[in-house]
Structure 1
Amino acid sequence: MKLTKIKELLNCKVYFEPEELCSEEFLNACGSDLMSDVLAFVKEKVILLTGLVNPQVIRTAEMMDIKAVIIVRGKQPSEEMLKLAKEKCIALLGTDYPMFQACGILYENGLGKEGCC
């Protein structure tokens, strides 16, 4: 699923989006507020959904080669988080949906159905 479709489905606010990621294809999603769980979730072409709004999210995404993070529950990123996302070229989006519903919408529309853990 392309990032443009994900943004549309979740009615995302864009905080930062590198131009080269607009056509990026994502195969899975990881929804977690525990970065230790994200570190254990080793999948390719994954998008991260979280309610955390601190720089550790971006650092974890960078370590796991996650190219896009969606903040759920209408939260907004901290200035530090946004600055780091820009430095690391990681898309940072936001949605008003709670995590469970956001993950469900993505799954219902095909994300993760092929090769999902």
Structure 2
Amino acid sequence: MSTETATGTDPEIQVSPTAAEQALDLLEGEGLDTGIAGLRLFVQQGGCAGLSYGMRFDDEPEEDDTVYEHHGLRVFVDPASMRYIEGSVLDYESGLQGAGFHVENPNVVSECGCGESFRT
């Protein structure tokens, strides 16, 4: 299997140290090998603004994925999703309203009121 690894010329997907730590804890809790497995970040149709983010753990990247590594976390992005999220930052926020992962996407032109979906 060949995976494309991000280079310095790509608009890279960044991961905050807090997000990486949280994701790695979850990966290990699932019994996955953090040296091979990773977090898949993708875009899907849905939500009131048209597109929404999805995340899941995968055992390994797909053949055409771009693979990013930040703070020990591997992030897999498929080519179709990349055009919507290139240059984004994955962060983890916690507060009174709850805790969770958040994508800071510079390509977004509008978001729905709840922040769950977006348009580019």
What TM-score bracket applies, with the shorter chain setting the length? under 0.3
* TM-score computed with the length of structure 1 as normaliser: 0.27
| Alignment TM-score, normalising by the size of structure 2 | 0.26
If each structure's strand is expressed as a fraction of its own residues, which one has the higher value? 2
Asked which structure has the greater CA Rg, the reply is: 2
